[in-house]
A and B are shown apart, each in its own frame.
Chain A
Amino acid sequence: MKYITEYRNKDLSHKIANRINNLLKGYKGKISLMEVCGTHTYSIFHSGIMSLLSKEIEHLSGPGCPVCVTPNKYIDTAIAYSHLPDVIITTFGDMIKVPGSTSSLEKEKASGSNVKIIYSPLESLKIAKKNPDKKIVFLGVGFETTAPLVASTILSAKDENIKNFFVLSGHKLIPPAMTALLERKEIKIDGFMCPGHVSAIIGEKPYLSIVKKYGIPSVIIGFEPIDLLEGIEMLIKQITVKKTASLENQYKRVVRKEGNEKALSLINKVFDVKDSPWRGLGLLSKSGLSIKKAYAKFDAETNIVCEIEKTKEHPECLCGEVLCGTKRPYDCTLFAKTCSPENPVGPCMVSSEGTCAAYYKFKK
């Protein structure tokens, strides 16, 4: 598999790991590196790289999984729509088990709701054309990597004059979340592992002001084992050797400095930036995307009217704190007891990259 397997070389992995460990010889204390990308969480655990690195390095999983940061209200809204007889919900597989206040799409599907799992948002348009008497509501979750796809899909729907396709936008933006985390002084973050594919869209610029203001070493990192190790080495060098904070790009083969301008223009064309509620972080200023007025006829929120249950949060669920890295899954009274992958209480247990699920599966 070209441009994949080359980045999984065992010998090279060990060489880089040894270099990292040498840099840490004699280092006193722990270095906390936070990644804000669910795929990074998964890749780190899947490759087993942490077992090659010194214990001085602590890996924190931040709020980078769209499933984990989606608040109950969004799921409750999707579930309410799914109860309408003329609605078909289309969604990425990630969302199907996420618990809302009282139920999940998986449970509602079993009770008769029409919920389809799709690989690409474009499949929603195909379903819409095949079912002209139904309303197809696509659950638009994901960060800057996925938002341009949804923007493009809305534009295609407009060009093809599709009248029964809607998007429930739950898209969120990564840099505001990073800022919010850094503002919380109780969280000790020594370096950021910046998400490689989000960065492919947004480029380097959005991170620069954060690095400057907070003096936080940051590296844009890819997802293969060698990418992860190389990126961690770059961070450790900044922290232990250079002792300065800067933004570096490890994933140059994919991430351009200016990002993907065409994708960014599509986001700007279709979406407005708005304040958005994040599980665990609360309402963050200018951190989410809502559909512009010009495309209002594709906005599920303005076109589909129904009663949505009152949002309830489980009082003992620590997903919010776990997402921010202030608590570990073990600190939660529900972890591995009431809350498990079979019966998740909060989203951190649902997604394969959700911190709690990852801990449950890979570490236990």
Chain B
Amino acid sequence: MKKKNAENKKILLSHGSGGAAMSALVKEMMIDKFDNPTLRRLSDSAVLPPSGNKQLCFTTDSYVINPIFFPGGDIGSLAVNGTVNDLSVMGAKPLYISCSLIIEEGLDMDILDKITTSMEKTSKKANVQIVTGDTKVVERGSADKIFINTAGIGIIQKNTILSTKRIKNGDKIIINGEIGAHGLAVMSKRENFKTNIKSDCASLWGIIETMLSAGGIKFMRDPTRGGVATVLCEIAEQSGFGIQIKEETLPIHDNVSSFSEILGLDPLYIANEGKVIAIVAKDKASSILARMKTNPLGKEASIIGEITKKNKGRVVLETIIGGKRIIDRLTGDQLPRIC
């Protein structure tokens, strides 16, 4: 049977070869959308304004998610917010992002268009500029549709020192809202379930800036891959203190809870993309919480536990019925199970 000719415009190898096709693609898909003076100079490297004696923060991450579109987000919004958040949790105001694309030959042009538009909208909302980038096209089969790397630069705010070394016995643990939505939103597409679960993919700088203004923040981390449990295990190990959390204080929406039950997954280990865990001084916890609740990303903020001298290096959960169990790291991804 004769194969039908390709109907939609597709990315071809020539789009990555450095010639006219590539220039046109980069202009239409990125320069015109991300649109800022630094980018428009089209220099080999972005020259950034001086930052005086301020401390810079620099991060990078690559995004290979499948499916590339999921309820509440896509690989583009994820690539911007993920890097923005990695800077934000260090107390650094995110400013500049780079955007590197590796595109599989044959990807629909429409899809690239949607992704870069999403990156443009997301970066505007996060108040960051995409100032430099790169585009490569690889042969069909050498990449899964599109991979994106973003690197980011931010400036650490005055008097902000965030470190596990500052953590003390009695400090409280706060999270800004409900857990497990992102990982399950992605999974719902893969497993053919109909749910109203949307990824929580969002830029955290706004709410973090509000939290920092209260003072008393010792350490922050965003619980992405591996979820809340993994971040808490890392903090316990690095600080040398124990962590006690209460299952009944964990903000989990019913639909997330239910979907996790059906697949046999634990929400504590599911990825989030718009959540921050903060270790805060005991006497500041209430005021930080109150400030968080004034922010759209903090309406369900909750104190979920505290730092203890007991069970050093371990995370202990008080279960919903008042029993106790140890929360440990996972090995590899959680998989849906029957048993």
Do chains A and B interact in one complex?
yes
A50 to B319, CA, bound (A): 12
B residues less than 8 Å from A65 (CB atoms): 339
* Chain B positions 237 through 271: 1 when the CB is less than 8 Å from some CB of chain A, otherwise 0: 00000000000100000100110010110100000
Interface extent on A, as a size class? 35 or more
Q: Are A38 and B254 in contact (CB under 8 A)?
A: no
Residue of A nearest to B325 (CB): A48
A67 to B339, CA, bound (A): 8
Q: Is B6 located at the chain interface by the 8 A CB criterion?
A: no
Q: Are B339 and A94 in contact (CB under 8 A)?
A: yes
Q: Is B1 located at the chain interface by the 8 A CB criterion?
A: no
B residues less than 8 Å from A340 (CB atoms): 331
Q: Is A183 located at the chain interface by the 8 A CB criterion?
A: no
Q: Are B339 and A48 in contact (CB under 8 A)?
A: no
Q: Are A52 and B326 in contact (CB under 8 A)?
A: no
B residues less than 8 Å from A96 (CB atoms): 335
Q: Are A352 and B320 in contact (CB under 8 A)?
A: no
* Chain B positions 322 through 339: 1 when the CB is less than 8 Å from some CB of chain A, otherwise 0: 111110101110011111
Which of the residues A119, A225, A351, A352 comes within 8 Å of B321, measured between beta carbons?
A: A225
| Shortest distance from the beta carbon of B134 to any chain A beta carbon, whole Å | 29
Which of the residues A4, A14, A117 comes within 8 Å of B322, measured between beta carbons?
A: A14
Interface centre among A10, A45, A52 (most CB of B within 10 A): A10
- The binding surface of chain A is classed by DSSP as helix
Residue of B nearest to A353 (CB): B339
A362 to B328, CA, bound (A): 7
In A111-133, the 8 Å CB interface with B consists of 117, 119
Q: Is A39 located at the chain interface by the 8 A CB criterion?
A: yes
Q: Are B339 and A351 in contact (CB under 8 A)?
A: yes
Residue of B nearest to A97 (CB): B332
Q: Is B191 located at the chain interface by the 8 A CB criterion?
A: yes
8 shortest A-B CB distances, which residue pairs? A48-B323, A93-B335, A13-B321, A341-B331, A48-B319, A38-B339, A51-B324, A48-B325
| Shortest distance from the beta carbon of B268 to any chain A beta carbon, whole Å | 11
| Shortest distance from the beta carbon of A65 to any chain B beta carbon, whole Å | 6
Residue of A nearest to B254 (CB): A1
A residues less than 8 Å from B332 (CB atoms): 97, 342
Which of the residues A1, A66, A352 comes within 8 Å of B257, measured between beta carbons?
A: A1
A10 to B249, CA, bound (A): 14
Q: Are B335 and A49 in contact (CB under 8 A)?
A: no
| Shortest distance from the beta carbon of B67 to any chain A beta carbon, whole Å | 16
A9 to B323, CA, bound (A): 12
In A126-158, the 8 Å CB interface with B consists of 142, 146
A142 to B320, CA, bound (A): 29
Q: Are A342 and B331 in contact (CB under 8 A)?
A: yes
Q: Are B257 and A92 in contact (CB under 8 A)?
A: no
| Shortest distance from the beta carbon of A174 to any chain B beta carbon, whole Å | 13
Q: Are A94 and B338 in contact (CB under 8 A)?
A: yes
A13 to B258, CA, bound (A): 21
| Shortest distance from the beta carbon of A7 to any chain B beta carbon, whole Å | 10
- Given A1-B258, A8-B321, A341-B331, A362:B336 Cβ within 8 A: no
A44 to B324, CA, bound (A): 11
Q: Are A52 and B331 in contact (CB under 8 A)?
A: no
A residues less than 8 Å from B248 (CB atoms): 10
19 pairs, A vs B, C-beta closer than 8 Å: A1-B258, A4-B261, A8-B320, A10-B248, A10-B320, A10-B322, A13-B321, A13-B322, A14-B321, A46-B319, A47-B321, A52-B322, A67-B339, A92-B336, A92-B338, A142-B339, A225-B321, A362-B328, A364-B328
Residue of A nearest to B335 (CB): A93
A residues less than 8 Å from B318 (CB atoms): 48
Q: Are B323 and A50 in contact (CB under 8 A)?
A: yes
A142 to B338, CA, bound (A): 8
A225 to B319, CA, bound (A): 10
Residue of A nearest to B331 (CB): A341
* Chain A positions 328 through 347: 1 when the CB is less than 8 Å from some CB of chain B, otherwise 0: 00000000000011100000
Interface centre among A4, A52, A67, A352 (most CB of B within 10 A): A352
- Given A1-B254, A1-B261, A342-B331, A117:B336 Cβ within 8 A: yes
Q: Is A363 located at the chain interface by the 8 A CB criterion?
A: yes
A1 to B261, CA, bound (A): 10
In A150-175, the 8 Å CB interface with B consists of none
In B277-335, the 8 Å CB interface with A consists of 317-326, 328, 330-332, 335
Q: Are A362 and B339 in contact (CB under 8 A)?
A: no
Q: Is A212 located at the chain interface by the 8 A CB criterion?
A: no
B residues less than 8 Å from A225 (CB atoms): 319-321, 323
| Shortest distance from the beta carbon of B130 to any chain A beta carbon, whole Å | 34
B residues less than 8 Å from A9 (CB atoms): 321
B residues less than 8 Å from A8 (CB atoms): 320-321
In B159-194, the 8 Å CB interface with A consists of 191
A residues less than 8 Å from B328 (CB atoms): 360-362, 364
Residue of A nearest to B323 (CB): A48
